[in-house]
Homo-oligomer: A and B are copies of this chain.
Amino acid sequence: MAKFFLNNILALVLLVVPGILVAQSATEGAERIIEVDVPAPSLSGNLLGTQGVQSAAIYLPPSYNNQPGHRFPVMYLLHGIFDDYGVWVENFEVPTILDRMISNGELPEMIVVMPNGGNKYGGGYYRNSPVSGNWADYIASDLVEYVDENWRTLSNPESRAVVGHSMGGYGALNLAMNKPGVFSVVWALSPCCLAPKQDLSLGNDAWRRAADIKEPGDIQNLLEDRDFYPIAILGIVTAFNPDPDAEPIYGDFPFDIIQGEIVLDSEAFDTFVDEFPVRQVRDARGALRDLRGLGMGVGLGDQFLHIPTGTMEFSQRLGAERVPHQLDVYVGDHRQLVADRLEHVVFPWIAERLVFSE
């Protein structure tokens, strides 16, 4: 969940030519980024108007072109809601950090792929949904296959990592649990949506406002007002509890509003809460234990209050199921230390765990 007004800065800054190396000679990694159009058949039929071809940015390591026979491991970076891959390139300065670390010998060379995952409600949570599209399949199948076909990758799970921020942190963990055998090293930064608590709890009054929506115009008004929580809730509902027949939202709320008060629908509430990761650790423990690395970091001052508590509860559930993992709890907020953490914690940790040769 990026700050709501943060947006497609990248599109303004770069001369983005899909599939074309933007600035090969630049010393700054930010300028050695390829933007590509990735076919996304997994998104076809979605009801939110999301395009069937999705942009992604690809970082090729400095010697990629000089070692034509060499294959590289791949790290995928998943952004947060209302973000796009620009958040990695511009805000968290990933290409600059990678170039510097590789140049200093602190990091071996790898390919880094930064897909987009947004839609009109902020994003599809990298989940499969008949309403928002099969985003998990898009990442784990469409995109991975596209990358492996078009670049010299080490195309096996041992050489494939996934890192996400906020919604993308959720996405990384969800892929690890529900798409086993694709990625073997996983880190979540400020991961949202691990447990329906605090601001993500149904007790957040914004759920009632979202549930008040009666017609398409109501949605339009929320979008125009950039009213964060109700819009994000529409994203949650269409991704976690989709219902193609429930116009205009195409998602179900796990409660009724009766005389202005929330009345839980017990069965729907079961279905809803069971989709959150803290309740899926047990069934996914086999897949999680098979990972080569699993880690997560969170700032105690995260503006999205469910994120620190959800992350710590997720860690506890991992421990209860004896899943090895790293937890990094620091002073900081939702975004401010992410670049620092990537450089000093996440990238070195991933490099230690990925396999760099065939």
Known pairs A301-B264, A324-B330, A330-B324; A201 contacts B202 (CB<8 A): no
Tell me the residues in window 290-336 of chain A with beta carbons closer than 8 Å to chain B beta carbons.
Answer: 300-301, 303-306, 308-309, 312, 315-316, 318-320, 322-331, 333-334
Beyond A324-B330, A329-B326, whether A203 also contacts B259 by CB under 8 A is no
- Whether the Cβ atoms of A201 and B197 lie closer than 8 Å is yes
The A interface is mostly helix, strand or loop, or mixed, namely: mixed
CB distance from A291 to the nearest CB of B (A): 11
CB-CB under 8 A from A259, the residues of chain B are 3
Chain B hits for A315, CB < 8 A:
312, 315-316, 327
Alpha-carbon distance A327/B318, docked complex (angstroms): 12
A204 an interface residue at 8 Å Cβ cutoff? Answer: yes
Q: A205 at interface (Cβ–Cβ under 8 A)?
A: yes
A333 touches B263 (CB 8 A): yes
CB distance from A293 to the nearest CB of B (A): 10
CA–CA, A91 to B323, complex, Å? 27
Contact with B along A207-249 (1 / 0, CB 8 A): 0000000000000000000001100000000000000000000
Chain A interface residues (CB < 8 Å from chain B): 3-4, 197-206, 228-229, 259-264, 266, 269-270, 279, 282, 285, 289, 300-301, 303-306, 308-309, 312, 315-316, 318-320, 322-331, 333-334, 344, 352
